[in-house]
Amino acid sequence: MSDANSGALLDRRRLLGAGGLTLVGLAAGGARAQSAPDPLITNIQPWQSTEGEGVDARPYGAPSAFEKDVVRRNVPWLTASPISSVNFTPLHKLDGIITPSGLCFERHHGGRAEIDPAKHRLMIDGLVDRPLVFTMDDLKRMPRVNRIHFLECAANSGMEWRGAQLNGCQFTHGMIHNVMYTGVPLKLLLDEAGLKPNAKWLMLEGADAAGLNRSLPLQKALDDVIIAFGMNGEALRPEQGYPLRAVVPGWQGNIWVKWLRHVQVGDQPWETREETSKYTDLLADGLARRHTFVMDAKSVITNPSPQAPLKYKGRNVLSGFAWSGRGSVPRVDVTLDGGRNWREARIDGPVLDKSLVRFFVDFDWNGDELLIQSRAIDSTGYVQPTKDALRKIRGVNSIYHNNGIQTWLVRASGEAENVEIS
Partner 1 sequence: MSRFPSALFVAALIGSTPAGAQPLNLGRAALPEETRAWDTSVRPDGQGLPVGKGTAQQGEEIFQSQCASCHGEFGQGVDRWPELAGGLGTLKDDRPLKTVGSYWPHLSTVFDYINRAMPFGNPRSLKPDEVYAVTAYILFLNDVVKDESFELNDKNLATIKLPNDAGFFDDDREVSEKAFWNASPCMVNCKSEVQITGHASVLDVTPDPKTAPKVE
Query: Cis link prior to 309 (omega < 30° from 0)?
Result: no
Contact status: 336 vs partner 1 (CB under 8 A): no
User: Please, what is the minimum distance in Å from the beta carbon of residue 84 to partner 1?
Assistant: 7
In a 3-state reduction of DSSP, which class is residue 195?
strand
262/148 Cα distance (integer angstroms): 24
376/133 Cα distance (integer angstroms): 43
Stretch in the footprint of partner 1 (CB under 8 A) among 14-22, 59-67, 133-141, 310-318: 133-141
Q: What residues does 216 pair with on adjacent strands?
A: 202
Contact status: 165 vs partner 1 (CB under 8 A): yes
412/390 Cα distance (integer angstroms): 30
Report the residue number, 45 or 198, with the smaller CB distance to partner 1.
198
Contact status: 119 vs partner 1 (CB under 8 A): no
In the shown chain, the binding pattern of residues 313 to 332 toward partner 1, with x for contact by CB under 8 A and - for none, equals --------------------
Contact status: 213 vs partner 1 (CB under 8 A): yes
Report the residue number, 210 or 356, with the smaller CB distance to partner 1.
210
105/90 Cα distance (integer angstroms): 9
In the shown chain, the binding pattern of residues 54 to 73 toward partner 1, with x for contact by CB under 8 A and - for none, equals -------------------x
Report the residue number, 206 or 314, with the smaller CB distance to partner 1.
206
Among 1, 27, 317, 383, binds partner 1 (CB under 8 A): 383
User: Please, what is the minimum distance in Å from the beta carbon of residue 59 to partner 1?
Assistant: 33
Strands (E), 189-259: 201-206, 213-217, 226-231, 234-235, 245-247
248/257 Cα distance (integer angstroms): 9
Contact status: 123 vs partner 1 (CB under 8 A): yes
User: Please, what is the minimum distance in Å from the beta carbon of residue 364 to partner 1?
Assistant: 20
Contact status: 217 vs partner 1 (CB under 8 A): no
Q: What residues does 348 pair with on adjacent strands?
A: 358
Answer yes or no: are the C-beta atoms of 172 and 160 closer than 8 Å: yes
Tell me the number of residues near partner 1 by CB under 8 A. 110
Contact status: 421 vs partner 1 (CB under 8 A): yes
Among 113, 117, 138, 351, binds partner 1 (CB under 8 A): 138
- 364 to each of 14, 306, 323, how far by Cα in Å? 9, 19, 26
